[in-house]
Every structure is written in structure tokens, then in C-alpha cells.
Amino acid sequence: MFDDDFEFDNPEEARSSVERYEEMIRNKDQYFFDADAFEKIIDYYIEKNDPIKAMQVVEYALSQHPYASNFFIKQAQLYMMTSQTAKAYKLLEKAESLEPSNGDIYILRGNLLENQERHQEALENYQKALLFAEDSDEICLQIAYVYQNLGAYEDAIVYLKRCLEANMEHQDALYELAFCYDVLDKQEESIHFYEQYIDEEPYSYAAWYNLGNAYIKLEMYEKAIDAYDYAILIKENFAAAYFNKGNALVGLERYMEAINVYRQTFEYEQPDAETYCCMGECYEKLEMMDEARSFYKKAVKLDARLSEGWFGIGVTLDFEERWFESLHFYKKALELDASNPEYWFALGDSHSKLGNVEEAEEAYEKVMELAPDDIEIWLDYSSLMFEEGKNEEAIAIISEGIKNNTGAAELYYRMVAYLFANGQYKEAISYLEQALIADPEKYELLFEYLPQLQNNKVIIDIVNRYIGE
């Protein structure tokens, strides 16, 4: 019978219409219904996801109201639900011939065209719908979606703002606007918009939340936390705001506070793998490895495909110098995300610590391929070769690193060490001067790696020339 969960402008009228229609079917009789009653009955069956019964009502409605365009539109909608696109187009043409000023025709046709990726034609229909529709917010949102699909995010922003002008409380538009600003990397504009919006709608939890997200992208963590706090004040059970507040606290290295805030999300939604993983990372940063490992294990138990969880377990074992055990978990992470240079780097480091030089080389080579701008990989890989007595290979690796990172003083200083150790003093002096030009304050890196160079008068004189006595 009638389900009270469905929303109608007048639920009693809708209930009466549906019950009367079903009585007619049971009695195998024919009753007369006005067009409005038929629409309520059709909508009821559509809401119940029963297109067959809804289509039967439409056909009966057309027998009593053969020139009512709304029933051809409803029929088209039902054909769309059952993927009978050609029939839907024909019915919309019929409806347009009867009532060309009905905006619903152009909205549905726009939906059909957009589903077929005929974006420009979809836009033309939505624009036409705007001419006739009383409520423009949903149409503006649809136009924004089309522009997003076209990659025209600036145009999408224009229509999302128009949507919000028509309906200031439109949640989807608020979130889509934040997404567009994010794609365009226009966080300052996003902040400006949401601040203005909040001036008019101070109790919009979605606006405060999106403002916090924009602040967090700019690493303005304190302001982000304030924004999330306002969102939570307005909507106490806003789990996403607690989660992102936790992320902001991580950005401030306030890890224990972050853990407590992440835990608060569980009061309002089921624990999820990502949150457990974030909590594990916080404990890891606090060097509380048992707790970190416990939460990483909880994460992978909930989602075995979460590579960060497997990797995190490996990191905790690595910290405890359980390198052989860490290998298993790094490999599990790489099975799920083979293009992650951080995972390959960790795998290479564990192999290196275990003396598995060939395996370490293979992993390091992969890191260089995936992340040639990571300065540490060139330092670590060349150091492995240097410690193996392969000075020429170490020099060649650092040379390649410098080609990929011409402004990295660390690489020039390391090259000086290798060249001196290899007896190439002239070349070493040349690289030392380049290192000092790049960043004179990092000269101590040279002595940290090869302390005996502190006794070399030539090097000390050159360093002093750049940094002063």
C-alpha cells in the first residue's frame, strides 16, 4: 500500500489517489482521474522503482488525457529508465509539439544527450529549459556538470554560482564549486567565495567545511581547524569535518590531538580503513610503533586493497630493524600500487640494510625511473655503490642525479666526496665551487659524509672564501 517515506506536496491527496487507483485495478473497473492525480500515482510508482506499473498508469492517463504533454514526458522518463533511448526521444518530440514551453522536455532531452556525450547539444537544451523553468537551480547545476565533463571548469563555476543565487542552500552546488576551484588550483578564490557566502549564510556547515578544505590545501592549518570547528558546531555529526580536522592537526604535527579527533568520527559513522590508516601514521610519527602497527592492521583487515596500510606495517618493522619482515609488507603494498616510488625506495633500503645489494639496486633503479626529482634516491643509491667500493658507479649515479636536479646542492657536495675519494682532485674542486654557489650553508654535508676532508687545507680555504671565516 501507500508508503509514507516518499515526499509529496500533499501526501494525503497522493495517498488517496494511489489507493483509489489500486482499488480500480482490483475491481477491474474504470475510474476517472484528473491529470494532477495521475501524476501523483505515476511518481509514486517511479519512486518505488516500479517502471512497469508506472508505464501502465501513464498509458491509462493518456487514454483519458490524450493531449497532456506531461504524460508523454513521464513516458519518455520511463523509457529512459529502461534504456529505450529512441522511444524516449520520439515522445519528447511529441510533448514539444503539444507544449513547446514546458521546460521539463528540454531537461530530459539534455539528460539523454549528456548520457550519449553529445555535450554541446545537451547544453543547448538546458539553456532552452532555463527560458521556461520556474526553478533554475537544478538546470544550472546540470549545465555545470556538462562544462565539467568538457573540462571547462571556469564556465562550470559561472553556472554553479547561478545555481546558488537561485538557491543559496544547494549543497551539491557548494561542493561542486569547491571541486572546480580545486581542479583549477584557485584556493585563494575559493576562500574569498566561501567567506562572502558565509557572511550571508553563517549557518551553512557545507560552506565552513569547504572553506576549511581550501585552507588545508594552502597549508593554513590553524584557519582550517577553525573552519572545521564551525562546521561541527552547526552539524555535530559531521564525520567528514572531524576527519579533515584530524588531517589539519597532522599538518601541525599535533599527532595525539589528531588521533583523538579521528576517533571522534567513529561516533557518527562506522570505522573505515582510511581513518585507521591515518591513526596508524600518527602513532608512527610519535614512534609508538606497536600502536601504529595495530591500527595499520585494522586498516588492512577492513580493506585488504589499501596499499598504505600494508606499507605502514612495513615501516613500523623497519623502524624496529626487523628488515627481513618489512620486505613482505613492502611487497604487498607494491602488488597493489606498483608505481609508488616511496614503496620501491623503502624496499630498496630494507634490501640494502640486509646486504642484498642486487635487489636494492633493482628497487633503487625503479625509484629513479618513477621519481627522478627525488634527491634522496641519488644520494642513497650512489652511497650503496660507494660503500661497495664501486666509486665509478657512484660518481655516474650522482652525475645523472645532477642532470635531473641541477639546483640540488646536496648532490654537488656528495660528488665532491666521491671525486676526492677517487683521486680526482681537480674535478672535485670544480664541483665544490658549484656546490658553494648553489647553497654555501650546506657545506657541512660534505664533512658529515667524509669527515677526513675537514683536514684538507685546500677544501677549507675554498669553503671559507664562500662563507667567511
Rounded Cα distance, 202 and 95, in Å = 43
- What is the number of domains present in the chain? 2
Q: What pLDDT, on the 0 to 100 scale, is given for residue 2? A: 41
Last residue of a domain, one of 369, 396, 427: 369
Shared domain for 364 and 389, answered yes or no, is: no
pLDDT, tens only, 204-244: 999 999 999 999 999 999 999 999 999 999 999 999 999 99
Last residue of a domain, one of 351, 369, 387: 369
Host domain of residue 303: 271-369
Give this prediction's pTM.
Answer: 0.79
Last residue of a domain, one of 332, 354, 369: 369
Percent pLDDT > 70 in the chain is 91
Shared domain for 388 and 414, answered yes or no, is: yes
Shared domain for 376 and 357, answered yes or no, is: no
CATH number of the domain bearing residue 330: 1.25.40.10
Shared domain for 362 and 381, answered yes or no, is: no
Shared domain for 350 and 395, answered yes or no, is: no
Is residue 226 one of the residues assigned to a domain?
no
Shared domain for 313 and 384, answered yes or no, is: no
* 80 vs 32, residue with greater confidence: 80
The chain-wide mean pLDDT, for the chain, equals 89
Shared domain for 433 and 417, answered yes or no, is: yes
Structural contact between residues 180 and 156, judged by C-beta atoms closer than 8 angstroms: yes
Is residue 103 one of the residues assigned to a domain?
no
Is residue 74 one of the residues assigned to a domain?
no
Is residue 245 one of the residues assigned to a domain?
no
Shared domain for 447 and 379, answered yes or no, is: yes
Shared domain for 305 and 277, answered yes or no, is: yes
What backbone torsions phi and psi does residue 411 show, to the nearest 5 degrees? -70, -35
